[in-house]
Chain A
Amino acid sequence: MLRGIAIGQHYPVQSLLHSLDPRTKIVATLLYMFAVFLAADYRMLLVLGIYSLLAVNLANLPWRILWAGLRPLRWIICFTLIIHSLITPGGAMLWNWWRIAVYSEGILRGILMSSRLILLILTTSLLTLTTSPIALTDGLERLLSIFKPLGFPAHEVAMMLTIALRFIPTLSEEGEKIFKAQTVRGVEFDRGNLLQRLQSLIPVLVPLFIGALRRAEDLAIAMEARCYRGGQGRGRFRELTFNLRDGVALTLTLGVLALTLIAKTLS
């Protein structure tokens, strides 16, 4: 059991992936996601899979942590596999019952779709696991400031994200505590019909929201007390640097994306 570790929470160890510039990791993740959406056949997905295995290998993370990210979505992954197997015709018929038939094409397509999902989840959690929330939002702010001339509030968006990320572990811990406290008072969360189960969540959600509002107010006062006035004229403690390894990582990712594009146009 992973107590007090939110899914995708930064896992601070030393590794090549940890040491990359956050901007590199954000851009590479976006490029990779684009490639996953483009990849239409299993050979291409195999290449993408190898690429992400390589990344996982360079990240020095225990499997337990990666599995924790996939676990909550395991039913959606299975569901994708089954639905695609059932609704896609073509190829040899493997199994038939009444009006339901499963074809070989369907199985292949199901595997394709669910592996896409797995790769997407794996890489996005890789990004958050290897990057501290501060570095992540710093990188995001720098990337988004490209749109500043168009009036995009890059700093404000980044600050909101920083705060949201900061409070995910706090609120999940608080939620768990309230959940336990109401269990002791006799709430049975896993009993009764759907309506009763939803009702049993009220004693958890109301205190959780009240707590979140209380924290928000405290935080606002603390920020004002330190003269926070938005992004204008703010210096930064950590400067981001783009190194050789960032160049290599981006080139590699671009290469994979190009390969996918070529495969796509050829087929």
Chain B
Amino acid sequence: MTLDVHDLSLTLNPDTIFTTQALRKVSFVLVRGEVTAVVGHTGSGKSTLLQVMAGLQVPTEGEVILDGMRLYERETDIPRLRRLTGLSFQYPEHQFFEETVEKELAFGLLRRGESPEEIIRHSSEMMALFGLDSSLMQRSPFELSGGQMRRLGLAITFALKPAYLLLDEPLAGLDPSGKRDVLAAISVYAKQYQAAVVLVSHNMDDIAEVADRLIVLSQGEVLLDGPPYAVFSEESKLATAGLEVPQVFRLIAELRRRGMPLQDGYINSNRQAYHLVRELLLKAKAPGSCDPT
């Protein structure tokens, strides 16, 4: 039960001056239950990659294999593909068209032929996951606040319960509390439904929290692929891709350089790093404790 991406290459607008090599020999395997963050500078091919994975953009070369099913073949089972994958584009709130929040949530589920009870169950489950009050159900989606709109936009895709959930820049333009809520929803969803979640971002600080794995794209190529601590230790490589290591990880690297014995993988998220630093500071205050500098 994996999503295999094998040697994907994609050339857009061949034989014209607008030619772009959007993807170059991209390969990786996604496992269910894991949150993978795809990071990269603007134009590095993140959005294009998600569309190829969701069966929306035929690659020039390479293949996508979804739970053993090859995509972009004559025999590809399209309804199965749609059931297994969910893709939320950047600014999902720009696709609203229904009169009420309830109808907007139900739209995809209706298309799939779910029963009314199931639709209500899935919808309210996702409203709760995103901290949206059920009293909003009868409101127009256009009357919601910006943060609520984004949460609804994402909930629409979550409500389809895809095993492979692909999210393009879900955090773009959100305030810190909005980001926290969305990231929490992503973590919970991946664990609860054993789903592979891919989230695209160009901000390293945001994703350090939730990602089990980081894939760094640079000019359509996979530059780095691994757990966050491993990727974040490649500061110079990341710099070539125009990316910055999150503040806390720079601090950790500095501590290690000054002789602090920290194991690989001991720190994997901003929160863990925060607790470590706090502990160190508390220790530093106590008389006779070791001085980290």
Q: Does B89 lie within 8 Å of A180, measured CB to CB?
A: yes
What is the bound-complex CA distance between A167 and B94, given in angstroms? Answer: 17
Residue in B closest to A205 when the chains form the complex, CB atoms: B97
> Does B199 have its Cβ within 8 Å of any Cβ on chain A?
no
Q: How far is the CB of A61 from chain B (nearest CB, A)?
A: 9
Residue from the list A4, A184, A186 in contact with B13, Cβ < 8 A: A4
Q: Does B16 lie within 8 Å of A181, measured CB to CB?
A: no
Given the known inter-chain contacts A4-B18, A5-B18, A203-B107, please indicate yes or no for A182 contacting B12, CB distance below 8 A: no
Taking CB atoms, residues of chain B closer than 8 Å to A55 are none
> Does B269 have its Cβ within 8 Å of any Cβ on chain A?
no
Q: Does A207 lie within 8 Å of B56, measured CB to CB?
A: no
Q: Does B112 lie within 8 Å of A186, measured CB to CB?
A: yes
Q: Does B156 lie within 8 Å of A185, measured CB to CB?
A: yes
Residue from the list B16, B82, B108 in contact with A2, Cβ < 8 A: B16
Given the known inter-chain contacts A2-B16, A184-B85, A186-B82, please indicate yes or no for A207 contacting B96, CB distance below 8 A: yes
What is the bound-complex CA distance between A174 and B94, given in angstroms? Answer: 10
Q: Does A62 lie within 8 Å of B13, measured CB to CB?
A: no
> Does B29 have its Cβ within 8 Å of any Cβ on chain A?
no
Q: How far is the CB of A116 from chain B (nearest CB, A)?
A: 28
Interface centre among A2, A3, A180, A181 (most CB of B within 10 A): A181
Q: Does A62 lie within 8 Å of B15, measured CB to CB?
A: yes
What is the bound-complex CA distance between A175 and B96, given in angstroms? Answer: 13
Interface string of B138-152 (1 = CB under 8 A from A): 000010000000000
Q: CB within 8 Å of B: which of A1-48?
A: 1-5, 11-13
Q: CB within 8 Å of A: which of B43-66?
A: 51, 54, 56, 58
What is the bound-complex CA distance between A183 and B86, given in angstroms? Answer: 10
> Does B17 have its Cβ within 8 Å of any Cβ on chain A?
yes
Residue from the list A13, A181, A202 in contact with B95, Cβ < 8 A: A181
What is the bound-complex CA distance between A4 and B19, given in angstroms? Answer: 11
Per the CB 8 Å criterion, the residue count for chain A at the interface is: 28
Residue from the list A3, A186, A206 in contact with B111, Cβ < 8 A: A186
> Does A101 have its Cβ within 8 Å of any Cβ on chain B?
no
Residue from the list B56, B97, B112 in contact with A183, Cβ < 8 A: B56
> Does A211 have its Cβ within 8 Å of any Cβ on chain B?
yes
Interface centre among B87, B92, B97, B107 (most CB of A within 10 A): B97
Q: Does A3 lie within 8 Å of B97, measured CB to CB?
A: no
Taking CB atoms, residues of chain B closer than 8 Å to A11 are 16-17
> Does B204 have its Cβ within 8 Å of any Cβ on chain A?
no
How many pairs, one residue from A and one from B, have CB atoms within 8 Å of each other in the complex? 69
Q: How far is the CB of B277 from chain A (nearest CB, A)?
A: 42
Taking CB atoms, residues of chain B closer than 8 Å to A178 are 94-95
What is the bound-complex CA distance between A186 and B94, given in angstroms? Answer: 17
> Does B160 have its Cβ within 8 Å of any Cβ on chain A?
yes
Q: CB within 8 Å of B: which of A162-214?
A: 174, 177-178, 180-187, 202-203, 206-207, 210-211
Residue in A closest to B113 when the chains form the complex, CB atoms: A186
Given the known inter-chain contacts A202-B97, A203-B97, please indicate yes or no for A184 contacting B87, CB distance below 8 A: yes
Interface string of A123-157 (1 = CB under 8 A from B): 00000000000000000000000000000000000
> Does A64 have its Cβ within 8 Å of any Cβ on chain B?
yes
Q: How far is the CB of B3 from chain A (nearest CB, A)?
A: 15
What is the bound-complex CA distance between A229 and B107, given in angstroms? Answer: 45
What is the bound-complex CA distance between A117 and B16, given in angstroms? Answer: 25
Residue in B closest to A202 when the chains form the complex, CB atoms: B97
Q: Does A181 lie within 8 Å of B160, measured CB to CB?
A: no
What is the bound-complex CA distance between A185 and B154, given in angstroms? Answer: 12
Q: Does B95 lie within 8 Å of A207, measured CB to CB?
A: yes
Q: Does A5 lie within 8 Å of B56, measured CB to CB?
A: no
Q: How far is the CB of A60 from chain B (nearest CB, A)?
A: 10
Residue in A closest to B92 when the chains form the complex, CB atoms: A181
Q: Does B13 lie within 8 Å of A5, measured CB to CB?
A: yes
> Does A65 have its Cβ within 8 Å of any Cβ on chain B?
yes
* CB-defined A-B contacts under 8 Å, sample of 26: A1-B12, A3-B13, A4-B12, A5-B16, A177-B89, A178-B95, A180-B51, A180-B56, A180-B87, A181-B87, A183-B56, A184-B54, A184-B56, A184-B82, A184-B157, A185-B108, A185-B111, A185-B156, A185-B157, A185-B160, A186-B112, A203-B95, A206-B97, A207-B96, A210-B94, A210-B96
Complex A-B, nearest 8 residue pairs according to Cβ-Cβ distance, in ascending order: A186-B111, A206-B97, A185-B108, A184-B87, A181-B89, A181-B95, A207-B95, A180-B56
- Report A's interface with B, CB cutoff 8 A: 1-5, 11-13, 62, 64-65, 174, 177-178, 180-187, 202-203, 206-207, 210-211
Contacts A4-B18, A64-B15, A187-B111 known; list 20 others, CB within 8 Å: A1-B13, A1-B58, A2-B13, A2-B16, A12-B17, A62-B15, A64-B16, A174-B94, A177-B89, A178-B94, A180-B87, A183-B56, A184-B56, A184-B82, A186-B160, A202-B97, A203-B95, A203-B97, A210-B94, A210-B96
